[in-house]
Amino acid sequence: MSSAPPASSSPDVLEVSGLELRYSAHGPLVLRGVDLSVGAGERVAVMGPSGSGKSTLLLCAAGLLRAGAGRVLLDGVDVASASERTLTAMRRDRVAFVFQDLNLVESLTAAQNVALPGLLGGRARSPGEVAGVLERVGLAGLEDRLPSRLSGGQRQRVAVARALVSRPAMVF
Q: What is the pLDDT of residues 47-98, one digit of tens each?
A: 999 999 999 999 999 988 999 999 999 999 999 999 999 998 898 888 999 9
Q: What is the mean pLDDT of residues 136-148?
A: 98
Structure confidence at residue 27 (pLDDT): 92
The pLDDT score that the predictor gives to residue 3 is 43
Task: Outline where the chain has alpha helix (H).
Answer: 54-61, 84-93, 110-120, 127-136, 152-164
φ, ψ at 163 (rounded to 5°):
-70, -40
Where does the pLDDT of residue 122 fall: very low under 50, low under 70, confident under 90, or very high at 90 and above? Answer: confident
Those residues with Cβ within 8 angstroms of residue 152's Cβ, 6 or more apart along the chain or in another chain: none
For every residue of 60-108, which 3-state class applies, written as one string? HHCCCCCCCEEEEEECCEECCCCCHHHHHHHHHHCEECCCCCCCCCCCC
CA distance 139 to 70: 40
Distance CA 38, CA 12 (A): 5
pLDDT of residue 5 exceeding 70: no
Res 9 pLDDT > 90? no
Average of per-residue pLDDT across 150-158? 97
7 or 19: whose pLDDT is higher? 19
pLDDT of residue 7: 46
Kind of pairing between the strands at 170-171 and 77-78? unpaired
pLDDT tops 50 at residue 10: no
> DSSP letter at 123?
-
Calculate what percentage of the chain has a pLDDT beyond 70.
94
Residue 11 has pLDDT above 80, yes or no: no
